[in-house]
Amino acid sequence: MPKTLFLLVISASVLLCKTATSAGVDHNLQWQFMNRFVTPNGAVVDTQNEDISHSEAQGYGMLIAVAADDERQFKNLYQWTQDHLAIRDDGLLAWAWDRRENVIGDKNAATDGDILVAWALLRAADQWNEPDYRKAAIRHIDAIETLTVQHGGRWLIKPGPSGFEQEDALHVNPSYWVYPALADFASVHDGPWQAILEDGLALTKQLLETRAVIPDWVKITQEGEISGSGITGEAGRSGFDAIRVPLYLAWSGLGETIGRTHWSRMQSLQSTPPYVLVRDTTEPKVIMEGNHAGYAAIGALVSPSLEPWRFDELAHDYYPAALQLLSRLAAEEGAQS
C-alpha cells in the first residue's frame, strides 16, 4: 500500500517474551490500540491517511487481536473486512474504504494487505483450533498466488492486480515481502512461496549492496535491471514502506543482517537519541527528522544492544502504533524460538 514516503527512525529497545498460540502483546497497549483506532463495527482507522480504512490496517488489527487472544475482536475485524472490502471477483480485497463517503475508495487490491489478512487467519486457526479460519486463509492464499510472477530472473510479488506494469518493467515494493507470513504460506500451500521468500531476500541484499538504504519502490525490467521507481512519488525514496523490511526480516529470523544494515544506515548519530529520515542515494540524504515510539520499536528489535527504552504509551497514530505492537510481538516470538 502506498504511504507518505518518509521514514522515521529512533533508537530503542523492546521487551522480549513465540507463536500466535503462546506469545502475546501487552494487553494494556492492545486495549489502547483497539479503543483508539478500531470502530465498534470493526474498521481500523488510518489516522494519518484521511481516516480511511484499508486491507493493510485490517490485517494488522487481526494479527494484534490473535496475539492478544481476543477472538471476539478478531471476528469483529474480519467480519467488517468481509462486508466492506471483499467485493472483488478474484477473491482479493479492495484496498481502501472511504469512511467519509461510506463507499469503496479504491477497488484495486494491495497485496500486502491480502497477505496480512490471510496470515492472520492462519494464526487464528492455530490459536483457537478453528478449521473455518484455515479454510478461509487457504482461499485467500489461492487468490494471492495469482499476483506472484517470474520476472527479471526472479520470483516477484505484484503490488496489485493493475497499475504496476509499464512496458517491460514491473514496479515492486520490497516491504510487501512479509517474510514470516510467506514462510507460513509455504508450510500449508503448494504455491511458490519458498522461492518468493528466497528471491525477496536476494533482492533486498542486492539493493543494499548498490544503495545506501532499501527504497520503498523499485523498478525491475525483464532483463533484471533494477532502478528506483517513482510510481508513487520521487524515485528512490526510502520511507514509511521500507521501514517495515527490518521488522519482517527479524520476525522471520531470516536476513537479520540485512535488516540491521538498513536500519543502521538510516540513523544520524548527531541526534539524541539518533533518528533521521533518508532517501536512497549513495550517501543518505536527510529529508526530515522525527521520532515516534512505533518506529523506535523496530529499531530496538533489530538493534538489541541499543540503550533500553520502554514503550509504556502507545504511539498516537494508527501506523506507528501497529508497528509498535507488532515489533513487540516479533521480539517475544523470537525470544521463545
Give the start-to-end residue ranges of the domains of the chain.
Answer: 19-336
What amino acid occupies position 291?
N
The backbone torsions φ and ψ at residue 172, rounded to the nearest 5 degrees and listed phi first, read -130, 160
**Residue with grid cell 519482517, as numbered in its chain:** 248
User: 249 with 16: CB under 8 angstroms?
Assistant: no
Q: Which of 56, 199, 216, 241 is catalytic?
A: 56
Q: Do 76 and 41 contact (CB within 8 A), yes or no?
A: yes
Choice among 46, 112, 184, 241 that is catalytic:
112
Active site residue 56: yes
Question: Is 332 an annotated catalytic residue?
Answer: no
30: helix, strand or coil: helix
Residues 244 and 313: their CA atoms lie apart, in Å, by 21
The secondary element (H helix, E strand) that includes residue 56 is helix 55-67
Kindly report the CATH class assigned to 19-336: mainly alpha
Buried b (16+ CB within 10 A) or exposed e, 246-261: bbbbbbbebbbebbbb
Q: Round to whole Å and give the CA distance between 89 and 224.
A: 32
Going residue by residue through the chain (337 aa), what tens digit of pLDDT does each one get? Answer: 444 333 333 233 332 233 334 456 678 899 999 999 999 999 999 999 999 999 999 999 999 999 999 999 999 999 999 999 999 999 999 999 999 999 999 999 999 999 999 999 999 999 999 999 999 999 999 999 999 999 999 999 999 999 999 889 999 999 999 999 999 999 999 999 999 999 999 999 999 998 888 989 999 999 999 998 888 877 778 888 998 999 999 999 998 899 888 888 776 555 555 455 566 555 556 665 656 777 878 888 887 655 544 556 898 999 999 999 999 999 888 766 6
